[in-house]
Amino acid sequence: MAGSELQNSQNAQIDGNTLAAKSLSLFGATHMFGVVGIPVTSLANRAVQLGVRFIAFHNEQSAGYAASAYGYLTGKSGILLTVSGPGYVHGLAGLSNGMINTWPIVMISGSCDQKDFGRGDFQELDQVEAVKPFSKFAVKAKDITEVPKCVAQVLERAVSGRPGGCYLDLPTDVLHQTISVSEAEKLLKEAESAKETVTQGGIVNSDIDKAVSLLKEAKKPLIVFGKGAAYARAEGELKKLVESTGIPFLPTPMGKGLLPDTHPLAATAARSLAIGQCDVALVVGARLNWLLHFGEPPKWSKDVKFVLVDVCKEEIELRKPHLGLVGDAKKVLEMINKEIKDEPFCLGKNHPWVEAIWKKTNDNVLKMEVQLVKDVVPFNFMTPMRIIRDAILGVGSPAPILVSEGANTMDVGRAVLVQTEPRCRLDAGTWGTMGVGLGYCIAAAIACPERLVVAVEGDSGFGFSAVEVEKP
């Protein structure tokens, strides 16, 4: 390139839309969900030109639910793009859903011109302030030069520590500002080199020793795991732990499939017995919230000792378990397995506790099968669930991703539909959110194209997002 041509290219100008799109592409974004309009249409177009796939929705709520599920399934920040004001408010549903479920999601919204804020501008709202209860981090790019740094911050913080929701505000005037290509490249390089890394303190080996001793000395131990363990890809370490120790296990609804529901040590069908009588519970990637009855009587024994494994120190401090292990579920389980390997123990299938769990499980499964074999017309919940169960199992591996919502439909389906592989069940989750169905389906199809996606929904739950079926 001739000198004059090189100088001209370096002096060429790009606007905030292009710089934001370049930042997203540079820092690893490959997909974006949302509804475009003023002032973010050009941002979406520039991102598409740079290879980011934009998945358009009819409503920001469904787009947000899709972005949150994409974050869970991929371990990358799911990105939601909205317009300002009402579009932003609709998007808060998806952002907050990701935050409560501790899934990484980044919501990016346009906002009104900064000089006109407070004067009743078009779709005016203090969006950074409004988002605070629903996010772990929120930032506004107040000048075009801040865009790369802000994009890097939200993408990194959404996945660091306990995953969750982050928000980036891009005012209209910032999107229209321009800088030279050379300055833009400099800002991008600076933002990339300054990307934050969050490190966790190491777990004390003596705490691992204590955890193993508690399990070894327990008469009725139980391993409980949830979607935090699924997000951490801890299935291999869980399988090793369960099968080397012979300890029964209980998954939370979205923990199902980390080990197959058909595993001989699965206690799902004996849930009341398992949590009511266990004396030591190793809880991995699951919170002692309403889904687990807060770890309190009368559902749990008053004498149960909890060993809680969580990536968030504050969660452990809140629950006050007998022993807390702060760290990534997979890494903590690796340490526990290593300790057990040095001093192995196993309950054995004839252990009274294992026998009791197996007998209760078998009895309850047989009772349910009696109901399932009946062909009831008009349908009750059992007949269609049996048909769906058999069809899903007939697919084999890779197993389909099941998306389930609706009160009775979801509850009955949780008992009947069999999960055999990890991260293959998406439901209303920690917040009990209705309307997630079609957004989750679309996210699952994009994140896991090798898997069939099956939506099993109640009619009301389906109605929240039914229009999203209209996808090319």
With respect to residue 123, please indicate whether it lies within any of the assigned structural domains: yes
Q: How many CB atoms lie within 10 A of CB 171?
A: 25
The answer to whether residues 458 and 417 touch, using CB atoms and an 8 Å cutoff, is: no
pLDDT tens-digit map of 73-106: 999 999 999 999 999 999 999 999 999 999 999 9
pLDDT at 160: 95
**Which H helix or E strand runs over 105?**
strand 105-111
pLDDT tens-digit map of 218-233: 999 999 999 999 999 9
Which of 194, 218, 239 is at the close of a domain? 194
Q: Is the pLDDT of residue 145 over 70?
A: yes
Q: Is the pLDDT of residue 3 over 60?
A: no
Q: Are residues 162 and 44 in the same domain?
A: yes
Domain that holds residue 216: 205-357
Residue 130: closest CA among 96, 104, 159, 103: 96
Q: Is the pLDDT of residue 471 over 80?
A: no
CATH of the domain at 346: 3.40.50.1220
Domain tally for the chain? 3
Q: Are residues 399 and 321 in the same domain?
A: no
For the chain, helix, strand, coil in percent to 5 are 50, 15, 35
Q: Are residues 262 and 186 in the same domain?
A: no
Confidence label for 366 from pLDDT (cuts 50, 70 and 90): very high
Q: Are residues 406 and 347 in the same domain?
A: no
Confidence label for 10 from pLDDT (cuts 50, 70 and 90): low
pLDDT tens-digit map of 45-79: 999 999 999 999 999 999 999 999 999 999 999 99
With respect to residue 199, please indicate whether it lies within any of the assigned structural domains: no
Q: Are residues 78 and 111 in the same domain?
A: yes
Q: Is the pLDDT of residue 464 over 60?
A: yes
Task: Identify the weakest region by mean pLDDT among 5-9, 342-346, 386-390.
Answer: 5-9
pLDDT at 250: 98
Distance CA 42, CA 260 (A): 46
pLDDT at 196: 67
Q: Are residues 44 and 160 in the same domain?
A: yes
pLDDT at 203: 80
With respect to residue 200, please indicate whether it lies within any of the assigned structural domains: no
Q: Are residues 292 and 417 in the same domain?
A: no
Residue 187, CB-side half-sphere exposure with 13 Å CA sphere: 22
Q: What average pLDDT does range 371-380 have in this prediction?
A: 89
The answer to whether residues 346 and 338 touch, using CB atoms and an 8 Å cutoff, is: no
With respect to residue 446, please indicate whether it lies within any of the assigned structural domains: yes
Q: Are residues 168 and 235 in the same domain?
A: no
Which of 194, 213, 238 is at the close of a domain? 194
Task: Identify the weakest region by mean pLDDT among 92-106, 133-147, 202-216.
Answer: 202-216
Q: Are residues 58 and 112 in the same domain?
A: yes
Q: Are residues 154 and 245 in the same domain?
A: no
Q: How many CB atoms lie within 10 A of CB 276?
A: 14
pLDDT tens-digit map of 159-184: 999 999 999 999 999 999 999 999 99
Which of 357, 383, 406 is at the close of a domain? 357
Q: Are residues 419 and 276 in the same domain?
A: no
Q: Are residues 421 and 330 in the same domain?
A: no
With respect to residue 180, please indicate whether it lies within any of the assigned structural domains: yes
- Extract the tokens encoding 93: 């549903």
With respect to residue 2, please indicate whether it lies within any of the assigned structural domains: no
Phi, psi dihedral angles at 343 (to 5 degrees):
-135, 75
CATH of the domain at 68: 3.40.50.970
**Which H helix or E strand runs over 167?**
strand 165-171
Residue 227: closest CA among 453, 431, 451, 452: 431
With respect to residue 369, please indicate whether it lies within any of the assigned structural domains: no
Secondary structure class of 16 (helix, strand, coil): helix
Confidence label for 472 from pLDDT (cuts 50, 70 and 90): very low
With respect to residue 39, please indicate whether it lies within any of the assigned structural domains: yes
Q: Which residues, 6+ apart, have CB-to-CB distance to 162 below 8 Å?
A: 102, 136, 310, 311, 312, 315
